[in-house]
């Protein structure tokens, strides 16, 4: 064991399935320990954009994603190592069920030696609670499940029955009450964003109090987080590295959309752009009159369909973005950012709104999910990875530059377009997966001649 390793108490909060209450419990834990004067760093498993913002409000510190498939082991290791250097406690919220997917919560926890705490929804069960806990503890040999919390519990008698059902070796850490005031509102892409909720601070403090009153919360034992052995995650370090000394984006200003309509962006993307030398200028397509003075533009995903009137009626901003794109300045548009650039966007209710018409095509919101999964694309000789999750269907009259494809049996695909130096797709790209391509993109050096021919299109 190297003396350079970092040690910090850590806990991986998981569950048998989605909708078990993980986000509420992790946010409550982060606020509980923050209120005790502890510095808490929180991570979210998977490519989720919404849950980490709740954790940032709860902990008062940036929250990041951890995903072996999208980010790779080294960057995940670098994140945990950096957090362990400065935090009193690391909390990780799992994704879906504990064993779901090749890069499951169980496998991620095992990879880094982090003990698991399972949140089991128990509103409609009794002794079966113990059977579920036993299955979570023993389904894989590499799992270290030290305890469980019962969620949505009806009474102290119900809690005692659940505790009695547990086999030896699995700690009962408490029972959270069935309380509608602890529920979080949802919409089609997940929870309503934390920054949109009035009274979020009161909610967090109430959740932390309920947790403290109902559960036993000793700090877990410290975990050893090893120093990363290679420098593929070096952009996360505060120590300069030779691989990024050149800073190809030095002197470049990137305008990044950030408001209620456009908020789905990985913190690592911004960190990478800054380490490549760029300066970030945030702006609001809803509230601002025009783009800031910038060399390039980044329109991340979000909820433009919920803010169509405000976006379409901000004529000066629309013209500012149109001029930027028509002049050939580099632009990256992801999912909702791409919808904003189309000619029209139609809601599920059939109401159509004129958009920027910077890309030729239209889109319509659907009742059902249209795309979900991890994808990668070969773009101008470089491979970049990302994730998509969207409820709209688009009709874009361009030949794609590339096809982003999902590995495995499902083989979901998304088209990637290049138009007037604008790279657009449904994919939320994880930019650190291809720093060289990112540099070329924001310098306007992608080659339109590389576009696929019609026979290659999906």
pLDDT band per the 50, 70, 90 thresholds, residue 453: very low
Residue-wise over 422-433: b if at least 16 C-beta within 10 A, else e?
bbbbbbbbbbbb
Q: What is the CA radius of gyration of the chain?
A: 23
Q: Residue 194 and residue 64: Cα distance in Å, rounded?
A: 15
The predicted pLDDT at position 173 comes to: 96
CB-side neighbour CA atoms (13 Å) of 199: 8
The predicted pLDDT at position 199 comes to: 83
Are 202 and 167 spatial neighbours (Cβ–Cβ below 8 Å)? no
The predicted pLDDT at position 409 comes to: 64
| Domain 6-225 matches domain 246-456 at the CATH topology level | yes
In this predicted structure, the answer to whether residue 242 has a pLDDT above a threshold of 50 is no
The predicted pLDDT at position 458 comes to: 47
The predicted pLDDT at position 185 comes to: 66
Per-residue pLDDT of 76-117, as tens digits, reads 999 999 999 999 999 999 999 999 988 899 999 999 999 999
Transcribe 175-207 into DSSP letters. EEE--GGG---EETTEEPPGGG-TTHHHHHHHH
The predicted pLDDT at position 194 comes to: 66
In this predicted structure, the answer to whether residue 207 has a pLDDT above a threshold of 60 is yes
The predicted pLDDT at position 181 comes to: 81
Tokens standing for 425?
């797709």
Q: At how many degrees (to 10) do helices 200-214 and 22-35 cross?
A: 90
In this predicted structure, the answer to whether residue 450 has a pLDDT above a threshold of 60 is no
Partners of 65 in beta bridges: 44
Are 365 and 60 spatial neighbours (Cβ–Cβ below 8 Å)? no
Residue-wise over 162-178: b if at least 16 C-beta within 10 A, else e?
bbebbeeebebbbbbbb
Domain made up of 246-456: CATH architecture: 3-Layer(aba) Sandwich (3.40)
In this predicted structure, the answer to whether residue 184 has a pLDDT above a threshold of 80 is no
Residue 73: exposure state from Cβ atoms within 10 A (0-12, 13-18, ≥19)? middle
**Lowest model confidence (mean pLDDT) among 16-25, 101-110, 223-232:** 223-232
Per-residue pLDDT of 270-287, as tens digits, reads 999 999 999 999 999 999
Residue boundaries of the structural domains of the chain? 6-225, 246-456
In this predicted structure, the answer to whether residue 150 has a pLDDT above a threshold of 90 is yes
Are 112 and 80 spatial neighbours (Cβ–Cβ below 8 Å)? yes
**Residue 457 a catalytic site member:** no
The predicted pLDDT at position 45 comes to: 95
The separation between CA 449 and the C-alpha centre of its own chain, rounded to angstroms, equals 33
pTM given for the model = 0.91
Average pLDDT value for residue range 129-157: 95
CATH of 6-225, one of 3.40.50.300, 3.30.365.10, 3.30.70.2080, 3.40.50.200: 3.40.50.300
Average pLDDT value for residue range 187-205: 76
Transcribe 323-392 into DSSP letters. HHHHTT--EEEETHHHHHHSSEEE-TTS-EEE---SSSEEEEE-SS--EEEEEEEEETTEEEEEEEEE-E
**Lowest model confidence (mean pLDDT) among 32-41, 134-143, 407-416:** 407-416
Average pLDDT value for residue range 340-367: 96
Are 321 and 291 spatial neighbours (Cβ–Cβ below 8 Å)? yes
Tokens standing for 148?
């469980």
* Beta pairing class for 145-153 and 171-177: parallel
* Beta pairing class for 422-425 and 116-121: unpaired
pLDDT band per the 50, 70, 90 thresholds, residue 457: very low
φ and ψ at residue 256, rounded to 5 degrees: -115, 120
Exactly one of 76, 335, 380, 388 is catalytic; name it.
Answer: 335
Per-residue pLDDT of 37-75, as tens digits, reads 999 999 999 998 888 999 999 999 999 999 998 999 999
Residue with tokens 């980010």: 71
In this predicted structure, the answer to whether residue 350 has a pLDDT above a threshold of 50 is yes
In this predicted structure, the answer to whether residue 240 has a pLDDT above a threshold of 90 is no
Average pLDDT value for residue range 318-324: 98
Q: Residue 408 and residue 421: Cα distance in Å, rounded?
A: 31
In this predicted structure, the answer to whether residue 451 has a pLDDT above a threshold of 80 is no
The predicted pLDDT at position 191 comes to: 67
Average pLDDT value for residue range 439-445: 95
In this predicted structure, the answer to whether residue 200 has a pLDDT above a threshold of 60 is yes
The predicted pLDDT at position 295 comes to: 98
Residue with tokens 């108490």: 9
DSSP class of residue 215? B
In this predicted structure, the answer to whether residue 187 has a pLDDT above a threshold of 70 is no
Average pLDDT value for residue range 327-331: 97
The predicted pLDDT at position 107 comes to: 94
Average pLDDT value for residue range 411-438: 95
Could you give the residue ranges of the DSSP H alpha helices within 215-266?
A: none
Average pLDDT value for residue range 9-18: 96
The predicted pLDDT at position 186 comes to: 67
């Amino acid at each position: 064991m190297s003396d350079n390793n970092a040690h910090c108490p850590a806990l991986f909060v998981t569950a048998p399935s989605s909708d078990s209450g993980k986000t509420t419990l992790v946010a409550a834990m982060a606020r509980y320990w923050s209120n005790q004067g502890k510095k808490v760093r929180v991570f979210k498993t998977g490519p989720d954009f919404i849950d980490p913002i709740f954790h940032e409000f709860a902990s008062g510190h940036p929250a990041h994603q951890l995903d072996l498939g999208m980010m790779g082991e080294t960057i995940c290791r670098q994140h945990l190592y950096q957090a362990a250097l400065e935090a009193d406690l690391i909390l990780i919220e799992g994704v879906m069920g504990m064993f779901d997917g090749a890069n499951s919560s169980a496998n991620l926890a095992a990879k880094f030696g982090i003990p698991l705490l399972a949140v089991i929804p128990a509103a409609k069960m009794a002794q079966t609670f113990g059977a579920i806990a036993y299955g979570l503890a023993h389904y894989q040999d590499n799992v270290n499940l030290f305890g469980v919390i019962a969620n949505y519990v009806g009474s102290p008698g119900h809690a005692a029955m659940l505790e009695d059902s547990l086999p030896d070796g699995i700690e009962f850490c408490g029972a959270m009450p069935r309380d509608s005031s602890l529920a979080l509102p949802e919409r089609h892409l997940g929870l309503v964003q934390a920054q949109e909720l009035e009274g979020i601070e009161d909610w967090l403090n109430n959740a932390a109090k309920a947790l403290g009153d109902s559960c036993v919360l000793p700090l877990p034992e410290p975990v050893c987080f090893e120093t990363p052995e290679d420098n593929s995650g070096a952009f996360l370090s505060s120590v300069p590295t030779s691989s990024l000394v050149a800073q190809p984006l030095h002197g470049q200003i990137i305008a990044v959309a950030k408001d209620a309509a456009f908020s789905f962006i990985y913190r690592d993307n911004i960190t990478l752009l800054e380490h490549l030398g760029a300066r970030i200028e945030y702006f609001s397509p809803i509230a601002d009159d025009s783009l800031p003075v910038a060399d390039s533009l980044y329109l991340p995903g979000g909820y433009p369909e919920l803010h169509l009137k405000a976006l379409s009626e901000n004529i000066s901003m629309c013209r500012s973005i149109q001029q930027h794109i028509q002049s050939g300045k580099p632009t990256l548009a992801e999912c909702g950012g791409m919808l904003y650039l189309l000619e029209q966007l139609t809601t599920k209710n059939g109401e159509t709104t004129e958009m920027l018409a910077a890309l030729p095509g239209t889109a319509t919101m659907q009742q059902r999910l249209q795309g979900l999964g991890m994808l990668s694309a070969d773009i101008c000789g470089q491979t970049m990875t990302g994730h998509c999750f969207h409820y709209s269907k688009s009709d874009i009259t361009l030949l794609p530059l590339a096809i982003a494809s999902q590995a495995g049996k499902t083989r979901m695909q998304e088209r990637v377009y290049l138009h007037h130096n604008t790279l657009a797709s449904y994919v939320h790209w994880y930019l650190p997966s291809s720093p060289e391509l990112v540099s070329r993109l924001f310098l306007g050096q992608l080659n339109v001649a590389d576009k696929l021919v019609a026979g290659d299109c999906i």
